[in-house]
Each structure stands twice: as C-alpha cells, then as structure tokens.
Amino acid sequence: MLRSIDPFLSRASRNMKKSAIREILKLLQRPGMISFAGGLPSPDTFPADDIKAVVEEVLRNESETALQYGTTEGDPLLRKVLAERHRRDGLNVDPENLIIVSGSQQGLDLLSRIFIDPDDYVICGLPSYLGGLNAFQTYGARLRGIPLDENGMRPDELEKAVVRLKDLGRKIKFIYLIPDFQNPTGITMPEARREKIIEIAEKHNLLIIEDSPYREIRFEGVPQKMMKQIDRYGRVISLCSFSKILSPGLRIGWIIGEAPILDKVVTAKQTADLCTSPFIQRIVARYIGKGLLDKNIPRTIELYRSRRDFMLECFSKYMPEGVSWTRPEGGLFLFVTLPGGLDTGEILKKAIDNNVAFVEGSTFFCNDSGHNTMRINFSFSSSAETETGVKRLAEVLREQIRKA
C-alpha cells in the first residue's frame, strides 16, 4: 500500500502552489453569489456565431492540415497575421520572431523552465500577477519585489535592488513586468519609464519579460509603445494572448523574442505538448484574416468601459470613508486599499458569507505584504450584479472599519 507520494516528488513539484484565485472560484458556485474575484472576460464579448462560421469553413476546406499535428513554432498563417498586426502597430517583427503557445500562462512556464535554476532571483512588482509568481517559484526562483507608484515599477528602487543582490553574489535572471493595465493594480507604465527600465536591464545584463494580455483593452488615454518596440538590445521577451480580446477558451497566446531565446522555447515546448492545437490556431488565423477580430475588439472595449465606469460610480456611491481605489485606463481590474490594520484575508470570509467575493491583495505580493488590499474585477458582472455586489461588499467593509 502506497502511504505517501512525498518521497517521490521532485523539487519543482514541491514548489508548486495552487492558484489562490482558482481555489476561490471553486467556492463561488452557490446560488446568489456575486464574484468580483476572477479575471473573467464577459461572455457577451464572445463572437460565437462568427467563430462557428469559421470553424465550419476550416473543416470544409482545410481539415487535412488543421486536424493533423503541427509545427512546434505554430501555424504559419497565424504567425504571419500576428506579425502583420504588430507591424501595423509599430513593432517591427517577422513571423520567425513569434512562437504560438497554449495561452500566455504556458509561455510563463516555458520561459521559467529555460531560464531559472533553483535560487536564481526574479524581480517583479509589488504587487504582481499571481500566475507569474507561481510559475517562477515552481522552478525554484527567489522573488524580489519592487514597489510601484502611480506609474508602475520604480526605476530607482529597481536599480538599488539589483545592485544589492549583485553585491551579495546573487544571480538575477530577469525582470517581470505587466506594463499595460497591470494585474492587479490596473496601472499603465509611461513610455519614458519603460525606456529607463530597459536601460537598467542593459546596464546590469538582465532580461525583461513583458506580459501583455490587456494591452488592446484601452478605454481612454494614449497607448504607450510596447517595451519590445522600444528595446534596442534584444533583452525584452513579450507575451501576448487572445484570452482577453477574443476568448480564453481558445487557449492561444504567443511569445515574441530573439531567435536564440525562441530556439530554446521550441525545445522546451516539444517536451511539453509537441504543438499547440493546429485546429484552433487555424480557426484563429482565419478569424483574424477576415477582419473579424478588429471588428470585435471595439465592442469589447465599449462594454468594459461602461462596466468600469459603473463600478467606479458604485464605489463612489457606496464605499465607506477610508477606502480608496485605482481608476484604470483599461484592462479588467480595480485595486482597492483599505485603512491600515485591516486584513482582507479575514474580510474575504465575511464577504463570502454575505454572497460577494474578491481576491485578497496579499496573494499578489511576494513579500507577504498588502494585507489591507484587494483586487476587484469589473468585466464579468452585469450592472445589476455589480451594484448589488458593491453594496454587499461596502456593508462588510463598513462593519470591519467600525470594529477596527
């Protein structure tokens, strides 16, 4: 009788952590629950009829190739149309600089696999995307968080941390950033700061991973250049995804990088899944080629803009004094800060009892801080659900502030 699998586990599997967000979502199936927890796109943005028509066309005309194994690098047509879209937006990239992956989360895993040795350091934001932090730690990385201000990661604090770690003999592999509508804060990094961070990476011989799943979901303000577009040194690796601009169920993302890096990614991917679904890739390629993506994104932006605005209106109307929140120019999230001394981990339990949920902010901080913060998703819920949910949450917060 096998008593325990512990003696057989690898170091990497021992480092694995379940996503706190995914675990919360399991608790939210009961009737009447309103969830602001997941980073869920609205099903109202899913172009089901258009995708159905494209699926039928691909099966009718291209089934022999679409249903066969494909190359690890990805469908040539999809890579071509993606490169064309990026060039239209000012990023000079060829199809050879793109690799298709099964969602950008797989990209984070593959890049972690090829770069991280146990006890290497990864530099990230305080706070930062939980899925990235978990991927890095699975491969044994140590995380060093850099404080954010209203413009994102602070370059002065970044360089001080890099110098300090190097003086201690630590090996730093890369800086992890979400420059546009950062998860969880919603902050967008100005172009001048992106340039400064790239210069720091060049000075100290570091790579940068630019995670960019929300970039095209902009409601207002001026789009900033991708860090990959600014990069003159070949140090930036960009991750992009269709999860927020088309459908997360398709599980299609892509990595943009220099040839030596992508060659290693291909090798790692061959041991993971051989190739991302050729069928789904060809569907997405044909969908984009027909101009359908460019028609759907503005509708998505308009819906999410209205939901953000209504969420902000409800927060202003119902939240108690002492609670503050961000006003993002795009993306899916607000980041909320409560008076010091309150713990959103404890508040979450009371909120769930009151049939509303969020993600406690501390899960996004690699240094066990941020206990008085929370992340709120505004893209998924209807107006009626948003107002009811904000009222419920405000009621819980008001009571906790009163007791503090």
pLDDT in tens, 84-108: 999 999 999 999 999 999 999 999 9
Rounded distance, CA 358 to CA 338, Å?
A: 13
CA 50 from centroid of its chain's CA atoms: 26
Say whether 22 sits in a helix, a strand or coil: helix
**Residue 8: pLDDT band with limits 50, 70, 90:** confident
Q: What is the pLDDT of residues 229-263, one digit of tens each?
A: 999 999 999 999 999 999 999 999 999 999 999 99
- Quickly count: other Cβ atoms within 10 Å of residue 333's Cβ: 23
Q: Which of 197-201, 207-211, 305-309, 337-341 has the lowest mean pLDDT?
A: 337-341
Q: How far apart are the C-alpha atoms of 143 and 154, rounded to whole Å?
A: 16
pLDDT above 80 (res 212): yes
- Residue ranges and CATH numbers for the domains of the chain are 6-47+295-403 (3.90.1150.10), 63-291 (3.40.640.10)
Q: How far apart are CA 233 and CA 200, in angstroms?
A: 12
Q: Report residue 30's pLDDT band, with 50, 70 and 90 as the boundaries.
A: confident
Q: Calculate what percentage of the chain has a pLDDT beyond 90.
A: 90
Token representation of residue 191:
């172009």
Which has more pLDDT, 6 or 328?
328
Q: What is the mean pLDDT of residues 75-86?
A: 98
CA triple 113-245-99, angle to 5 deg = 35
The whole-angstrom separation of Cα 106 and Cα 111 is 9
pLDDT given for residue 96 in this prediction: 97
Question: Which segment of 23-37, 135-149, 264-278 scores lowest on mean pLDDT?
Answer: 23-37
Q: HSE-up of 256 (CA within 13 Å, CB side)?
A: 27
Which residues on neighbouring strands pair with residue 122, listed in sequence order? 143, 174
Average pLDDT value for residue range 32-46: 93
Report the alpha-carbon distance of residue 243 to residue 231 in Å, rounded.
25
Q: Is the pTM of this model over 0.75?
A: yes
Facing residues of 146 across strands? 125
pLDDT in tens, 157-167: 999 999 999 99
Q: Label residue 221 left, alpha or beta by phi (over 0 means left) and psi (-120 to 50 means alpha).
A: left
List C-alpha distances in Å: 213 to 101, 176, 297. 13, 14, 13
Q: How many CA atoms lie within 13 A of 236 on its CB side?
A: 26
Least confident of 21-30, 53-62, 164-173, 309-318: 21-30
Mean pLDDT of 289-303: 97
The whole-angstrom separation of Cα 51 and Cα 55 is 6
> Does the pLDDT value for residue 2 go beyond 70?
yes
**Taking residues 16-24, what's their average pLDDT?**
63
- Share the mean pLDDT of the chain: 95
**Residue 393 clears pLDDT 90, i.e. is over it:** yes
Q: Are 344 and 361 in contact (CB under 8 A)?
A: yes
* Predicted pLDDT of residue 20: 62
d(CA 214, CA 189): 13
